[in-house]
A and B are shown apart, each in its own frame.
Chain A
Amino acid sequence: MVSSLFSRLPSLLTVTDEQAMWRVKMDDDPQAFARLVQRWQGPIQRLCIKMLGDAHRAEDLTQEAFTRVFARRKDYEPAGRFSTFLWRIALNLCYDELRKIKRRGESSLEGNADERGEIEFVADIAGPDLQVVREERAEHVRRALLQVSEPYRVVVILRHYEGLKFREIGEVLDIPEGTVKSRMVEALNQLSRLLKPLMNDE
């Protein structure tokens, strides 16, 4: 198995996302699709968690996003970037889910960690007290992010956590780059107010 993996490694390394998606579109290539899932499920899950604040729903939505990618493979235009295609699908699912939550009158802020979908933060070598403090700070940031309204929150997540350029975010959201920057300014201003207590702690 290891030898076969190594024999496939050069071809895996040279295939871009767009080429892989083209193979999925034209030949229903399961290996190419598996490669896309393997590469992108982490970023998509992170996006969903930060948009929804709920790890369980985020996992379900991530699976749903890839299911949709496969179902809509014929709609993929090779001129466009695969990532833009995928981010859009995932974001639309997040928006749908947030609308459902609003309709049901739920709040993703409510409930303890177990009820919401447990999110475990990667532990490092630190004493239990320090670990508790870090988890509290993380929880505070999570809540602050969820208080920022969706159009601004999505820009912060894509720019700050996922490292997309403002231009790329504009392509994903189909809005001008200047609007993306304006939203980022507003988001940072809101977060500055919400996270003030944590800044003083440092």
Chain B
Amino acid sequence: MSDMKHPAPEELVSWVYGEAIGRAKRELQAHVNECAACRAQVDLWRATTDVLEDLPAPVARRRWTPVSAPLQRAAAAALFVALGIVLGRFAFSTDEAKLRAALQAQMQEQIATAKEQIAREFQQRHDESVGQIAAAAEAQMALSNQKLAEEFTLALQQARAADRADYLGALRELGAKHDAEVAALKKGIETVVALADYGFEATEQRFAQLAAQTAPTE
């Protein structure tokens, strides 16, 4: 028995809840019949699920609305009629059948009226309830739409501000680049001027030297 390969607990739980099918179901059934350890596990789970059944369907008390007005009237009418019947038994025993028939007709009429009122009230409350849910949902949607619109506007403004900052940054960069190029050009021109000055001076000196060397010695 100890060499027996046990099914995974997940397979066992699936079998306990009747979800194993076909061959798997037959094999699990056979295994549980043979294996004491798995049978004990299954029995424990089944005992647990049996206890879980001790929690019945709850009925919330808060929602119990007071008995509706038509129902109260119907109950009062029924009580009054019943009282009438009882008293009538003592007071008018000879006309009991007649009185009872009259009272029954009256009672049935009142009950029928009350039933209609209850049905109307129920329908009205039902319609109101559905209307309220729909209205609440619409309000929530409107709120979420407004919120979305606000978020969208904010995002748009942020995007515009970011674009403006980018544009200004690019302009500044371009200006700085332009300034640098102007400065470099100026420096270049100054160098050329300096070189030209130097060139003129050198040429002048050479002419002077040349003139001194070529002067006639008489």
Residues of A within 8 A of B (CB): 1-2, 28, 30, 33-34, 37, 45-46, 49-50, 55-56, 58-59, 63, 66-68, 70-71, 117-122, 134, 137-138, 140-142, 145, 156, 159-161, 165-166, 178, 181-182, 184-185, 188, 191-192, 195, 198-199, 202
Contact = CB atoms under 8 A, between A and B. Distances in A.
Nearest to A69: B137
11 contacts: A28-B134, A45-B60, A59-B60, A66-B133, A68-B137, A140-B54, A141-B52, A165-B19, A166-B19, A195-B51, A202-B51
Nearest to B120: A1
B24 to A, nearest CB: 13
A67 B136 contact: yes
B9 interface: yes
B187 to A, nearest CB: 68
B126 A34 contact: yes
**Chain A interface mostly helix, strand, loop or mixed?**
helix
A122 B57 contact: yes
Interface in B132-169: 133-134, 136-138, 140-141, 144
Given A120-B60, A134-B54, A138-B55, A70 B48 contact: no
B59 interface: yes
Given A37-B133, A67-B133, A142-B55, A160 B49 contact: yes
B48 A121 contact: no
Interface in B110-143: 119-120, 123, 126, 130-131, 133-134, 136-138, 140-141
Contacts of B44: 192
B56 A1 contact: no
B14 interface: yes
Contacts of A195: 48, 51-52
Given A122-B56, A137-B54, A145-B55, A56 B62 contact: yes
Nearest to B10: A181
Interface in B26-67: 44-45, 47-52, 54-63
Given A138-B54, A166-B17, A198-B54, A185 B59 contact: no
A141 B144 CA distance: 40
